[in-house]
Amino acid sequence: MSFLLTSIATALVALGAVRLAMRRDPGGASLLTHGSILLLLALPVLAALPKLLLVIPSLAPAGVPAPATLLSHLGWLWAAGCAVVALRFLADEIALGRWKAQAGRCRDRRLHASLAACRRQLDFGSSVRLRIHPHISSPSVAGLVRPTIFLPPGARGWSDDTLRMVFLHELGHLARGDLWTGLVARLACFLHWFNPFAWMLRRRLTAQCEFACDTFVIAHGVNPAVYATALCDVAEASRATPAAALAMAGPASLRQRVDYLVRTPHSRTPLLVVAALVITITASVALSVVRFRSAVPATMPLIDDAQMRLTANPFPGD
């Protein structure tokens, strides 16, 4: 029961801190969200730490502890929920595998040359495959072990500048480790499936990764207005991609991303993000370690004393 309450309280505090940080720096807030998700994964370890008992005075009778059968039922319910979420994630991976199998090899030398130029600019040493997917209209990246950039068939007609922006964005996801971050977020949702705020943190993280990659592109010499225009052009005909893939132009936060791009200068407040992360970690540790106990006077001795007074002989000499 304490694990459930600590999970919800930690995620709620983190969500509030993330919301505050996103108002100033949506891209930089991904650090805070990622740290909060890692904190959720660490809660079982924190729960095993020695507890600090704080005794507080109380006049109310002591509460009845939860019976062992109830705790056992809650444990089985949590395990069943984990199994359901695991099946859902397995279905997502199967769908992603089928989706990737539909893509064909890219034989356009200009596209490969543009990708190679961006890799050299970023000094990105890992190999990245390039595929043309017939059923997408927005670039995306997928593959933890063998990262692959998927382009729509229309990418062959894009200008060199557009291709450079697209590849910088997708390579930004790989350089930042966003695919692995997404896996960590899914593991947190698996462990805390009962916590709606954990799922909200995962959705926030997905959006923040796009903001961060937009900033990544701008930081490598792309004009913000030109990039925002290209982003809107690509997003006009974008289609859904699998849950484990990251698309460049998801329509959900497109307006916020464009507003963020054309805002000059960008409000970057790393100190705010770090401070919010420290507060979230402190609150989580406190919730996991500190336990309160009421100092309740025993009730039975009071009852016995009252009965003795009522039945006592006021004149013991008689």
Report pLDDT digits (tens) over 83-107: 999 999 999 999 999 999 999 999 9
Instruction: Please determine, for residue 47, whether its predicted confidence score (pLDDT) is greater than 90.
Output: no
Domain ranges of the chain: 2-295
Predicted pLDDT of residue 251: 46
Q: 205-256 pLDDT, tens per residue?
A: 998 999 999 999 999 999 998 998 888 877 765 655 676 667 676 544 677 8
For residue 66, which phi and psi values (nearest 5 degrees)? -65, 135
pTM, rounded to two decimals? 0.79
What is residue 131's three-state secondary structure?
strand
221 DSSP assignment: T
Least confident span in 116-125, 165-174, 268-277: 268-277
Instruction: Using the predicted structure, report yes or no on whether residue 57 has a pLDDT greater than 90.
Output: no
pLDDT at 27: 77
Mean pLDDT for the chain overall: 81
Amino acid residing at 261: L
Mean pLDDT across the stretch 125-138? 92
Higher pLDDT, 146 or 298: 146
The fraction of the chain above a pLDDT of 90, given in percent, is 44
80: Cα within 13 Å, side-chain hemisphere: 6
pLDDT (average), residues 163-184 = 95
Q: Tell me: the pLDDT tens digits for 16-27?
A: 888 888 877 777
Dihedral sign of CA atoms 242, 245, 248, 253 in order: positive
